[in-house]
């Protein structure tokens, strides 16, 4: 039972990051492999703010969210833009974002070395008894943060013009362009939003586990599974998939063995894809490769 | 195909897919000549250069030639970018390790006999893998191949009874003369590489290869035209897996001891993909060229910049530069350049091109505007 709760709480955070990833896919049709390392980058940023400027982890979000947003915008404009004119966007986009990811990993390794770090605060190591379980504060706060940010995301997507533009682009890129939406700007902003959520994810991740520049790989693998399971392009799908997958993983770890929980993770993906090749809520896939 | 005409900006009225079909009849001599020379150099190489460090680089390069060509066989031709080929590499490596353990062979050339077995085992794994993965398209396909990589790496760790888990497995170490030690492996790798490139060439000029290329252009339309896409994809996937497994087998024997993260490597697929992109996706010589250029570079990077960070940055920057400036790859760009040059000279009456083969009935009815 505890495992289920843990799964839900942590799942929400992963779902948030996955939502960002799937949003970018929906708008731009690219998979941002760098999302994993961006989370790690955010964790390092929070670390620096915390350690050297003594800014609390949550307060630090005020800085990290805009910073990550700008990082995303920069990445999009520098690297992704060039892809627009090329054919074979699938392969190229993955390779380009992978290249960006390893560059970032290299930079982080140089600046911070490969030592493991962990974010600390009074609420990180303490728990609060609720309903007979001892739940770490940080899990609850992380969950709250994820929910809050998802709410903000919802507001942006459904209550603003930008959001409308984004949703239109997801439905039909060409159509959106034809009705006058500035695709380039929308794409850039969508990408920025997609990376801004990694700020929150990174902070929680850094507080709940040890990390070093190498942690990006595990993260991106989890995120990829989540967004594919939920259906590429579907934010709701990513949310559900995120929570479900984390719950399954935690439950497996408890019931069976922690060794197999990671394998189970991927096995579930495979099973779902057999039954439903486009994920739970995915768009029907395009015809040409 | 109107799509072909619209998307190939800069080409003449004839869609490139038709041009490509005519290619083997243009200048067969040049391609074979280059290949023969290359092969001669490759064979002579270990006898001329005896420094084992360099021959080691040569061995790894040849293995990557094999892996990149094998990857290109499926992903390059069909357009399904598979980033899970490391699974085949790893399965091949473990197959030969487990085989060598259970069949007590003397530690010498006879172990190489297990390499084809390793390849076939990898191919066998490609069957369920392909069955699951090929039901999906494009991005989902890519992600599921990545997922399979993680699954297999985890399985290698967890199935301790079979794979000895994180402790890894060791293979028998041959007691050869240290001076010529590498030569055995070098030629094994060379044979494997040549076999793979040969296979790639055979596929390329065959109807099978053509069917694969139609899948890349428009799969549903290909199905409508009678191409058995499911079967073709599966066959290509398995073939690609077999050859990659061969490389894995040779690698395992050469390195002597393997661990899960050694042979199920995240970087592997991206590396062979970038090699193929560099050389030219879908061509025969492309992956070869890409591997020849990039693998020594990679080895150099690892040796020189042992501080991890710099190595990664250099690698990433290299990737981006390649993608930015040579998105089509070296071979197609150069070929186009040569053709354009020759066409220019022909139009000015300076050169006479060899007559193209009499027009054959196009197996694919393309709509010419």
- pLDDT category at B299 given cuts 50, 70, 90 is confident
Q: What is d(CA A237, CA B140) in angstroms, rounded to the nearest whole number?
A: 14
Q: Is the dihedral of CA A193, A197, A42, B142 positive or negative?
A: negative
Specify the pLDDT at position B354.
Answer: 56
Q: Which of B151, B220, B221 sits opposite A267 (nearest CB)?
A: B151
Q: What percent of chain B has pLDDT over 90?
A: 8
Contacts of A109 in chain B (CB under 8 A): 307-309, 312
The minimum CA-CA distance between A71 and chain B, rounded to whole Å, is 17
The shortest C-alpha distance from B346 to chain A (Å) reads: 30
Q: Show me where the domains of chain B are located.
A: 2-347
Q: How far apart are the C-alpha atoms of B286 and B280, rounded to whole Å? A: 4
CA distance B202 to A287: 28
Place of tokens 């991206």: B270
Least confident of A238-242, B42-46, B117-121: B42-46
Spell out a b/e string for A95-125, using b for 16 or more CB atoms within 10 Å of the CB, else e.
bbbbbbbbbbbbbbbeebeeeebebeeebbe
Residue B303: per-residue pLDDT: 72
Provide the phi-psi class of B245: left if phi over 0, else alpha when psi is between -120 and 50, else beta.
alpha
**What's the average model confidence in pLDDT over B208-223?**
86
Structure confidence at residue A289 (pLDDT): 36
End-to-end CA distance of chain B: 9
Structure-derived torsion over alpha carbons of residues A121, A124, A126, A128, reported in degrees to the nearest 10: 120
Mean pLDDT of A184-199: 86
List of residues 6+ apart from A20 with CB closer than 8 A: A35, A193, A194, A195, A196, A197, A198
- Determine the Cα–Cα distance for residues B252 and B156; give it in Å rounded to an integer: 14
pLDDT at B316: 81
The continuous run of DSSP H or E covering B290 comes out as: helix B285-304
Asked if pLDDT for residue B369 goes beyond 70, the answer is no
Confidence of residue B238 (pLDDT cuts 50, 70, 90): very high
Least-confidence region, from A87-96, A167-176, B177-186: A87-96
Residue B97: the pLDDT is 85
Q: Which two tokens stand for residue B27?
A: 């200048």
Q: Which residues in B216-248 are b (16+ Cβ under 10 Å) and which e?
A: bbbbebbeeeebebeebbbbbbbbbbbbbbbbb
Any idea what the Cα angle at residue A114 is, between residues A110 and A116, rounded to 5°? 135
How much is the CA Rg of chain B, to the nearest whole Å?
21
Q: How far is CA B315 from the centre of its chain?
A: 19
pLDDT, position B237: 92
Question: What would the DSSP string read from start to end of B319-335?
Answer: HHHHHHH-TT-HHHHHH
- Using CB atoms, which residue from A110, A228, A267 is nearest to B143? A228
The answer, yes or no, to whether residue B319 has pLDDT greater than 60, is: yes
| Contact predicate B212/B77, CB 8 Å | yes
Specify whether the backbone of A279 is left (phi greater than 0), alpha (psi in -120 to 50) or beta: left
* Contact criterion met (CB < 8 Å) for B140 and A102: no
Shortest distance between the Cα of A39 and any Cα of chain B, in A, equals 18
- Round to whole Å and give the CA distance between B303 and B309: 13
Which pair of tokens denotes residue B213? 């290329």
Pick from B139, B158, B327: CB nearest A31:
B139
Quote the Cα angle for B215-B223-B358, to 5°.
70
Q: How many CB atoms lie within 10 A of CB A142?
A: 24
Residues of B in Cβ contact (< 8 Å) with A100 = 316, 320
- Residue B74 per-residue DSSP state: I
User: Among the listed ranges A117-126, A198-207, B106-115, which one has the minimum average pLDDT value?
Assistant: A117-126
**What mean pLDDT is reported for chain A?**
79
Task: For residue A68, give Cα distances in angstroms to A44, A80, A223, A242.
Answer: 12, 16, 18, 22
pLDDT in tens, B4-47: 434 444 444 545 555 444 444 445 566 777 778 888 887 877 77
Residue B307: pLDDT above 60? Answer: no
B357: number of Cβ within 10 Å: 10
B7-41 core/surface letters (b: 16 or more CB in 10 A; e: else): eeeeeeeebbbeeebeeeebeeeeeeeebeeeeee
Q: Is the pLDDT of residue B49 over 90?
A: no
Which segment, B227-241, B267-281, B298-312, is predicted with the most confidence on average? B227-241
Chain B residues in contact with A215 by the CB 8 A cut-off are none
Q: Quick one: tokens of B5?
A: 């005409």
Q: Measured between CB atoms, does B230 come within 8 Å of chain A?
A: no
Which whole number is the average pLDDT over A213-220? 82
Residue B248 token pair: 């894995």
**Residue A288 — pLDDT band, cuts 50, 70, 90?**
very low
pLDDT over 60 (residue A38) = yes
pLDDT (0 to 100) of residue A184: 81
Residue B153 in this model has a pLDDT that exceeds 70 = yes
Token pair recorded at residue B93:
């490596």
A162 touches A31 (CB < 8 A): no
Q: Which of A217, A232, A286 sits opposite B266 (nearest CB)?
A: A217
- Please check whether residue B284 is in contact with residue B120, taking contact to mean a CB–CB distance below 8 angstroms: no
The answer to whether the beta carbons of residues B186 and B59 sit under 8 Å apart is yes
- The Cα-based distances of B78 to A270, A288, B229, B362 in angstroms read 22, 10, 10, 20
On whether any CB of chain A is under 8 Å from the CB of B34, the answer is no
Answer yes or no: do B132 and A273 touch at CB < 8 A. yes
Do residue A114 and residue B313 have CB atoms under 8 angstroms apart?
no
pTM here? 0.79
Cβ pairs A/B, distance under 8 A: 160
Chain B environment of A107 (Cβ under 8 Å):
309, 313
Q: Each residue of A82-115: pLDDT tens digit?
A: 666 555 566 677 878 888 888 888 888 888 877 7
**In whole angstroms, what separates CA A191 from the centre of its chain?**
12
């Amino acid at each position: 039972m505890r495992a289920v709760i843990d799964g839900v709480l942590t799942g929400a955070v992963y779902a948030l990051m996955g939502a960002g990833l799937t949003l970018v896919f929906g708008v731009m049709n690219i998979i941002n492999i760098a999302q994993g390392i961006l989370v790690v980058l955010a964790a390092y940023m929070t670390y620096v703010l915390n350690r050297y400027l003594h800014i609390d982890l949550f307060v630090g979000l005020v800085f990290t969210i805009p910073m990550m947003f700008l990082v995303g915008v920069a990445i999009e404009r520098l690297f992704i833009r060039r892809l627009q004119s090329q054919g074979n966007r699938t392969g190229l986009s993955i390779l380009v974002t992978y290249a960006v990811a390893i560059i970032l990993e290299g930079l982080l390794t140089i600046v911070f070395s490969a030592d493991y770090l962990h974010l600390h605060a009074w609420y990180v190591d303490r728990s609060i008894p609720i309903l007979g379980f001892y739940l770490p504060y940080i899990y609850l706060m992380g969950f709250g943060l994820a929910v809050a940010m998802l709410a903000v995301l919802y507001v942006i997507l459904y209550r603003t013009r930008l959001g409308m533009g984004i949703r239109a682009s997801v439905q039909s890129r060409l159509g959106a362009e034809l009705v006058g939406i500035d695709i380039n700007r929308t794409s850039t902003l969508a990408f920025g939003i997609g990376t801004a959520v990694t700020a929150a994810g990174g902070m929680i991740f850094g507080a709940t586990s040890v990390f070093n520049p190498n942690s990006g790989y595990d993260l991106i693998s989890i995120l990829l599974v989540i967004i594919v399971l939920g259906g590429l392009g579907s934010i709701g799908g990513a949310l559900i998939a995120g929570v479900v997958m984390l719950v399954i993983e935690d439950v497996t770890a408890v019931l069976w063995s922690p060794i197999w929980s990671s394998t189970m993770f991927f096995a579930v993906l495979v099973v779902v894809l057999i039954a439903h090749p486009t994920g739970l809520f995915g768009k029907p896939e395009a015809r040409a490769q | 195909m109107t799509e072909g005409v619209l998307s190939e900006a800069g080409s003449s009225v004839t869609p490139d897919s038709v041009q490509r079909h005519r290619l083997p009849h243009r200048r067969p001599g040049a391609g074979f000549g280059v290949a023969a020379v290359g092969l001669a150099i490759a064979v002579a190489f270990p006898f001329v250069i005896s420094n084992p460090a360099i021959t080691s680089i040569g061995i790894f390069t040849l293995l990557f030639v094999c892996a990149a060509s094998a990857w290109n066989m499926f992903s390059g031709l069909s357009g399904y970018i598979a980033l899970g080929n490391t699974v085949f590499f790893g399965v091949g490596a473990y197959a030969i390790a487990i085989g060598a353990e259970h069949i007590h062979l003397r530690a010498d050339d006879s172990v190489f006999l297990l390499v084809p077995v390793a390849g076939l085992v990898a191919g066998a794994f490609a069957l369920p893998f392909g069955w699951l993965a090929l039901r999906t398209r494009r991005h989902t396909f890519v992600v599921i191949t990545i997922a399979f990589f993680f699954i297999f790496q985890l399985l290698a760790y967890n199935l301790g009874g079979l794979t000895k888990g994180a402790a890894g497995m060791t293979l028998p170490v041959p007691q050869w003369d240290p001076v010529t030690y590498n030569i055995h492996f070098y030629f094994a790798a060379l044979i494997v590489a040549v076999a793979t490139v040969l296979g790639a060439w055979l596929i390329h000029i065959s109807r099978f290869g053509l069917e694969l290329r139609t899948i890349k252009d428009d799969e549903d339309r290909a199905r409508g035209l009678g191409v058995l896409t499911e079967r073709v994809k599966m066959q290509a996937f398995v073939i690609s897996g077999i050859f990659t497994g061969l490389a894995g087998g040779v690698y395992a024997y050469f390195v002597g001891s393997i661990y899960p993260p050694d042979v199920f490597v995240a970087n592997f697929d991206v590396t062979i993909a970038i090699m193929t992109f560099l050389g030219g996706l879908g061509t025969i010589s492309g992956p070869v060229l890409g591997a020849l250029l990039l693998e020594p570079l990679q080895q150099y990077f690892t040796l020189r910049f042992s501080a991890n960070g710099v190595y990664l940055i250099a690698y990433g920057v290299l990737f981006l530069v390649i993608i930015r400036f040579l998105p089509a790859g070296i071979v197609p760009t150069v070929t186009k350049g040569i053709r354009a040059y020759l066409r220019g000279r022909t139009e000015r009456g300076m050169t006479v091109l060899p007559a193209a083969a009499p027009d054959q009935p196009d197996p694919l009815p393309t709509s010419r505007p």
